[in-house]
Amino acid sequence: MQLDNSRGHRDPTPDQLDVAVVQFAPSTAPSANLATLREHVRTARDRGARVVVAPEYSMFAVTRLDERVVAVAEPLTGPFVTGLGGIARDFGVFLVAGTVEEVAPGSGRIRNTLVVLGPDGTLVACYRKVHLYDAFGHLESDVVEPGAIETPVTFTVADVTFGMQTCFDLRFPEGVRRVAAAGAHVLLLPAQWIPGPAKVDQWTTLVRARAIENTVYVAAADQAAPRGAGASMIVDPTGAVLAELGDEPGILTAGIDLAHLGEVRTVNPSLALRRFAITERRLE
């Protein structure tokens, strides 16, 4: 397993906050996935990262969701999130990863939930995926309960504010706009971007577009092959790619520079100039 990718490393300046993106191929064994993440986080911490982002469904990954994912679901007090907290505490980082959250025992439903564990091991924030992957022949809604439309979830590390979306959410620009309007400097985007014709091109185009139109950094952590398309990347608020991977496991690091972000937003004040608000569309 490849744990290091020096081509994806960018040394931060003293004024930057270093963020790491982990790309790996989660299995159907949550304990093994925790062990793999521990080694990735160790490497990321050794590079100076204070925030580490792992993919969607880091806890348990299959190509098509079915009763297997329902059977493995846990509450956020369960062993997987507790294990993530232990990793975050052991290495003194903020750790973001995708979990399979239990809705209620016997419900037959789960939530696709991102969790943020702080350096003290406690749960800092969580985001439940809003836009479910009912596309390209998949029906995530068969077993996943969508997250409620709430005030965008953010958390702050050393004056840098982070917001979150998940995978298919990337195709809905209004969701990312809400996160940026809530004050996020960085969008964290864990994903299991299913491979297919033109899917990597769509992924990279959309990641860069969300960065440009919202003048935010985007740290996008996809699953590695075979269940993910890979192409994890860190993009700056002009859409410039700071670091990227192919489809194999690896780690990216790059610095979040608020001074650079401020310069970009001065030259291109698109957030300040917007004239349309975003409202919830209630589905029948």
What are the catalytic residues? 56, 129, 167
Residue that has been written with the tokens 């940026």 in this structure: 180
Q: 189, 180, 243: which is closest to 11 by C-alpha?
A: 243
Quote the CA–CA distance of 25 and 87 in Å, as a whole number: 18
Break the chain down into helix, strand, coil percent, rounded to 5.
30, 25, 45
**Is 103:145 a contact under the CB 8 Å cutoff?**
yes
Give alpha helix (H) positions in the chain: 30-46, 67-72, 79-91, 173-181, 199-214, 258-267, 270-273
Cβ atoms 219, 120 nearer than 8 A = no
| Euclidean distance between CA atoms 52 and 219, whole angstroms | 10
DSSP of 21-90:
EEE----S-HHHHHHHHHHHHHHHHHTT-SEEE--TTSS---SS-SHHHHHH-B-TTSHHHHHHHHHHHH
251 SS3 class? strand
Q: How far apart are CA 233 and CA 207, in angstroms?
A: 8
